[in-house]
Amino acid sequence: MTVTVRNQCCPNKKCVYAGQFLRGNVISHSRKSPRFLCKACGKTWVAHREEPRYHLHTDFQKVIEVLKFLSGGASVRGTARNMGVSTSTVQRWKTRFADYSLT
Ligand SMILES: [Zn+2]
């Protein structure tokens, strides 16, 4: 399935366009990654119709573990040590999946 603005809706529950498609509020935020921006509330998110894992070389489960550490309040350095990856890798994942929901 192709990720386009057509199959994205704003994930911000407080937004007037929450859960609504094709309202013209969603624009593509970046050509390099499947990020979208809601013009109505300013929320940005990673495409949520397709898992944002397709150009990752690492097992996505590892990314999830890293995100769990970070969301639990662990430092980038500490997470990197625990997971056996470099701090720059953790930092990159943290940025890339900033809006990715673990639930
Ligand atoms: Zn919105």
- Domain for residue 52, yes or no? no
Residue 24 has a pLDDT of: 84
pLDDT in tens, 83-103: 999 999 999 999 888 877 665
**Residue 18: domain span:** 5-46
How much distance in Å is there from the Cα of 83 to the middle of ligand 1? 35
How much distance in Å is there from the Cα of 58 to the middle of ligand 1? 31
Surrounding ion ligand 1 within 5 Å at CB are 10, 12, 15, 38, 40-41, 43
- Domain for residue 51, yes or no? no
- Domain for residue 101, yes or no? no
pLDDT in tens, 22-77: 888 888 876 666 788 999 999 988 875 544 455 555 677 888 899 999 999 999 99
Nearest of 103, 100, 87, 83 to residue 35 by alpha carbon: 100
What does R_g of the chain's alpha carbons equal in angstroms? 15
Query: Residue 11: enclosing H or E segment and its boundaries?
Result: none
- Domain for residue 31, yes or no? yes
Q: In sequence order, which residues have a C-beta less than 8 Å from that of residue 63 and are 6 or more positions away?
A: 53, 56, 93, 97
- Domain for residue 29, yes or no? yes
Residue 68 has a pLDDT of: 92
- Domain for residue 38, yes or no? yes
Counted domains in the chain: 2
Do 40 and 72 belong together in one domain? no
Q: Cα separation of 13 and 29, whole Å?
A: 20
How much distance in Å is there from the Cα of 19 to the middle of ligand 1? 9
Do 36 and 9 belong together in one domain? yes
- Domain for residue 26, yes or no? yes
Q: Cα separation of 6 and 25, whole Å?
A: 11
